Amino acid sequence: MAKEVIMPALGMAMESGVLLRWFKAEGEPVTRGEPLLEIETDKTTVEVEATASGILAQITARPGDEIPVGQPIALILAPGETAPQPASARPEVLASPVAARIAAEHNLDLARVKPGGGRIQKDDVLGYLSQQLAAPADGRQPASPKARRLAGEHNLELAAIAGSGPAGAVLAADVLQAAAARAEAPSPPVPELAPLSRMWQVMAQRLTESWQTVPHFYLEREVHAGPLLAWRAGANERFEPQATLTDLLVKLVAVALRRHPRLNAMWRDGDVVLNNEVNVGLAVAVEEGLLVPVIHQADRLGLQALAQRRQELVARAQAGKLAVADLQGGTFTVSNLGMFGVDAFNAIVNPPQAAILAVGRVADRVTPVGGQPVVQPMVTLTLSCDHRVVDGARGAQFLQTLAGLIEDPLSALD
């Protein structure tokens, strides 16, 4: 029995995918489990395997097509099986040459016209057009079907065109004359539009929804980063790969989340849901937009394993090779722009998560120590929270715990 090839759902939020290429041509044999096609979701590129063995047939989607999840795009036929016949074409419409010419001039489908005799005549077409040219019930400008089509193609408003047809109806010639007149007029400069990837469009949509629907509030704190720098230096003398400040922060954030589970929660259908795992997402900028690969169970990983995992995820993100599982399950996000010289910033919460931590650069600043001005390396942390899940006190307590861990990393071992 023929097996349908459908656009798969690779995530709960996925609604459609873009077909990039077929690995097999129509009529070629396929084997279950081998790559059959490659698709692009809003987050990554994925190879989809064949779900059955047989002959590929009736391909209906081409590279570049955006296809809704669940829509059939091909068949895999069993050995010796023939493809079902497509639906038969509609019956041929009989019309006189003059009637056919008039219909073509007005972009009229002859199947809409009821003939008075055995075939459609000139008077049948003219009668139908007269009815169509009558003022529409919704108050729109009367116009022929071809005039409406041409107006749409030339981006012209029918109401602004003087019609020369019956009852002032706009005809195709009127639209073409108006288009020619506009072409002779000087055109204003057209702004250049930057091409947007599908990933960027989806990112823009989701961040807009977050900004419009999530009640944000922000907590900011300066923290002495000297112990953090010393920890990194000591760790990098002992193992590879070299740990970054982000690695150390992810480790300490994971410990703090275990102590403050409300920050590791999410908002779902009007309820606060506490997550059992601590899965920290890292905001990674790529050419096409922003990705947030996830370090799963970050609180259970040692620093070396965490640094290795972070390095692999970032490399795959920049190469466009992240798996769907790498992007799912995040319970908290860290966004670090310190490497770009940014002192502090407010990040937008990544729904349905409850919070996101924005990290600025480590910079020497004059701070009071024992009543005396001292130059110390400091880092600014900004916590963005969803007020439906976290209140100010809980957010402040989490930030206080995290600051204490940064200033005394050994306390993370408690």
Enumerate the active-site residues. 387
Contact 113, 100 (CB under 8 A): no
H or E segment at 291?
strand 289-291
d(CA 73, CA 6): 6
For CA atoms 198, 203, 206, 207, the dihedral sign is negative
d(CA 109, CA 101): 11
Count of CB atoms situated within 10 Å of the CB of 408: 11
Count of CB atoms situated within 10 Å of the CB of 404: 15
H or E segment at 220?
strand 216-224
d(CA 243, CA 311): 9
d(CA 173, CA 403): 74
Bridge partners (DSSP) listed for residue 261: none
Check residue 353 and report its DSSP letter: B
Contact 318, 290 (CB under 8 A): no
Count of CB atoms situated within 10 Å of the CB of 380: 21
Find all residues with CB under 8 Å of 371, minimum gap 6, and list them: none
Residue by residue, what is the 3-state secondary structure of 129-175? HHHHHCCCCCCCCCECHHHHHHHHHCCCCHHHCCCCCHHHCECHHHH
- In single-letter form, the type of residue at position 215 comes to P
First to last CA, the chain: 61
